[in-house]
Amino acid sequence: MSPGRKSDAGGDPSGGGRRPAGARRGPGRPRPKSDRQQEQARQDKAPPPPGVAARKLAVEALVRIDEEGAYANLVLPKLLDRSALDERDRHFATELVYGTTRMRRACDWLIDRFVMQELDPPTRALLRVGAYQLVFLETPAHAGVSTMVDAAPRKVSGLVNAVLRRVAQADNTWPDEGTRLSYPAWIIDLLTRDLGADDAVAALEAMNHAAAATERADGYTQDLASQWVADAVPAVAGDVVLDVCAAPGGKATRIAGTTKGATVVAADVRPSRAGLIRHNVDRLELRDQVVVISADGTRPPLRPGSLDHVLVDAPCSGLGALRRRPDARWRISADDVTALAALQLDLVDAAIALVRPGGTLTYSVCTVSDAETLQVDRHLATRWPSAAAMPAVEGSSWDVHAVPHGRGYRLLPQAADTDGMYLLQLRV
């Protein structure tokens, strides 16, 4: 080799030679990634397969629902709208979110037997979704486990794999009815007391299935039981009807749409909710029949004895509508039932005073608890003894599917695959 000429092995920065053993790479010179690392980086950046993407979206929604208090029916549509999921995977993600939320207590029991550490919310959500698929959707173990592992961050993929494989192989015999049904203990106790054990279990089981979407002839989607409440209001042409707690407007528009010539005043205490009623009234082209106002139902700005019919579809615990509100069972408490029952008494007292002699008061709630049904009936019987209870119209849905409860009628969710409802009607 000629003197003064650098060898190719001398580490010239412009060449490809090796560094002497033990020498350090200079600053700003990152170590080249291996082929395997480069492939992993490409996979990390690539969008996940559709089935994995649906599961990831479901996990994100569950974390927001469980940890941030988001409502399932509000957060899920937003996540779906910004996703690239096709229609099939959108339905699948919805099933995972709603189903896993309903069966949260059961899913936690399925996984907690095999977890020996504290789980952060995203990891718990991953395991809940996996357990829901394996046990309630009966997804084959190889598919149910592998897709959840693919949806998991690498740092917890081993844990997800190990726990879900144990769930798939275990004897999943439920330890008690509360865990099997997946409700808080207080709801099970309350409905068992108020309905009896058999009807309570049947109602709770019925509300663990997704609600069917029922579309009216005018295109508005509304549960049949709510339609039956509106249909029970005996309005005719020329009558003025007040719907005290009308938002989002389903019952008010049903009354107006099926009773040509009647005027419906649709009220709600919150201006934003009144705006939602206006939107639905405009969409259904009922502006000539429905007048929307923002008003407090306990202090309505209307003249006593001035209305033909008043409907009080009161705020309630929603214990009859838990199938369509999957997160409600974890959101409400026994104290809420007590507070809502007190509000319901104030609402019916204010409402009945607005009814002209010979007119009617209709009280309804999408719950089946005695505190929000029988207690209201007894209060009205004591406070307004001259108001006579009205029987269900013979052959009507209330006559066919509901059972007498006090002077009103209780419709259980298992009776006709509807929300659980209560209806009481008085002629003033």
Give the integer Cα–Cα distance in Å for 181 and 78: 29
**Predicted confidence (pLDDT) at residue 2 exceeds the cutoff of 70:** no
**Phi first, then psi: what are they for 378, rounded to 5°?**
-65, -40
- Mean pLDDT for all residues in the chain: 91
**pLDDT band for position 119 (50/70/90)?**
very high
**pLDDT band for position 171 (50/70/90)?**
very high
The domain made up of 224-427 has a fold known as Rossmann fold (3.40.50)
Every domain of the chain and the residues it spans: 50-169, 178-206, 224-427
Q: Based on the residue annotation, tell me whether 366 is a catalytic residue of this protein.
A: yes
**Structure-token match 């790479």, residue found:** 25
Residues 242 and 311: beta-carbon distance below 8 Å: yes
Give the integer Cα–Cα distance in Å for 354 and 82: 47
The domain made up of 50-169 has a fold known as N-utilizing Substance Protein B Homolog; Chain A (1.10.940)
**Predicted confidence (pLDDT) at residue 225 exceeds the cutoff of 70:** yes
pLDDT in tens, 252-289: 999 999 998 999 999 999 999 999 999 999 999 999 99
**pLDDT band for position 301 (50/70/90)?**
very high
**Predicted confidence (pLDDT) at residue 19 exceeds the cutoff of 50:** no
Q: What pLDDT shows up at residue 48?
A: 62
Q: What pLDDT shows up at residue 211?
A: 87
- Percent of the chain surpassing pLDDT 70: 88
Positive or negative: CA dihedral 101, 102, 107, 108: positive
**pLDDT band for position 213 (50/70/90)?**
confident
CA 402 to chain CA centroid, nearest Å: 25
Query: Taking the model in full, what pTM does it have?
Result: 0.86
**pLDDT band for position 7 (50/70/90)?**
very low
In the set 107, 245, 316, 366, the catalytic residue is 366
